């Protein structure tokens, strides 16, 4: 069954710990942390101290998505703060093999994310080295954007390329009860959702809908 990674980008930061605790209780499989540097993407969000501060509130995996130009500067701090999965962008300014090795040095799971305009073929050389591919179904940088349908073709293409390899396909951007069924059908293993879950009166109900349970 598909897993749901709830993004805290839309959370109330004045009570972040209790928000994470509520998402855990509601049935979130992972907690997704969107990190933006104001350079790779125009927005600026949270640092390693946020991961460290929420770590005591959940035992669920902390899924850290680094939307940054130079991930190597931040990977050690995020790893030591309590991240479980660290995802870097294929389009960043650094050599991917070095970033993968650095994340593995800290015994964390490795993800690579691709923007909407990046070809799936570009990620093929790295598939044997990683645990996850994150398909962006919006342009990274801001929450609340509309889902780009072309992401569905990428998900299906990736699933075919991965075959029996133990590599998960995650999709992030505009995921809700309307777009989730198509993502599941295309083969997505993990759905990232922020606004849809956090702004819903029933977080548990929203997560169940994303999983196709109701």
User: Number of helices and strands (H, E) in the chain?
Assistant: 8, 8
Tell me, yes or no, if 29 is annotated catalytic.
Answer: no
Active site residue 34: yes
pLDDT digits (tens, 9 = 90+) for 166-210: 999 999 999 999 999 999 999 999 999 999 999 999 999 999 999
Place of tokens 């072309």: 150
CATH class of 3-211: alpha beta
Domain range summary for the chain, segments of one domain joined by +: 3-211
pLDDT digits (tens, 9 = 90+) for 117-131: 999 999 999 999 999
Selection from 172, 209, 143 nearest residue 30 by Cα: 172
- SS3 track for 51-78: HHHHHHHCCCCEEEEEECCCHHHCHHHH
Catalytic member of 29, 131, 172, 189: 172
* 15 contacts 198 by C-beta, under 8 angstroms: no
Task: Quote the strand ranges of the chain, DSSP E.
Answer: 3-7, 30-36, 62-67, 85-89, 109-114, 132-136, 168-172, 190-193
Mean pLDDT of 96-100: 98
Specify the pTM.
Answer: 0.96
The catalytic position among 34, 37, 131, 189 is 34
In angstroms, rounded to a whole number, what is the distance separating the alpha carbons of residues 24 and 93?
34
């Amino acid at each position: 069954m598909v897993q749901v990674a709830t993004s805290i980008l839309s959370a109330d930061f004045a009570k972040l710990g209790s928000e994470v605790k509520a998402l855990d209780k509601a049935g979130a499989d992972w907690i997704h942390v969107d990190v933006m540097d104001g350079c790779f993407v125009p927005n600026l969000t949270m640092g390693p101290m946020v991961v460290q501060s929420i770590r005591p509130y959940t035992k669920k995996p902390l899924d850290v998505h680094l939307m940054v130009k130079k991930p190597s500067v931040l990977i050690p701090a995020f790893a030591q703060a309590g991240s479980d999965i660290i995802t870097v962008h294929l389009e960043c300014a650094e050599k991917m093999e070095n970033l993968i090795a650095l994340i593995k040095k800290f015994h964390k799971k490795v993800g690579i994310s691709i923007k909407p305009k990046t070809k799936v073929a570009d990620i093929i050389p790295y598939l044997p080295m990683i645990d996850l591919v994150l398909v962006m179904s919006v342009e990274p940088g801001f929450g609340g954007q509309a889902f780009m349908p072309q992401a569905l073709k990428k998900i299906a293409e990736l699933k075919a390329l991965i075959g029996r390899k133990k590599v998960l396909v995650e999709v992030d951007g505009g995921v809700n009860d309307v777009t989730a069924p198509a993502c599941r059908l295309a083969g997505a293993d993990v759905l990232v959702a922020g606004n849809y879950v956090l702004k819903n009166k029933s977080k548990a109900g929203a997560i169940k809908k994303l999983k196709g349970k109701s």
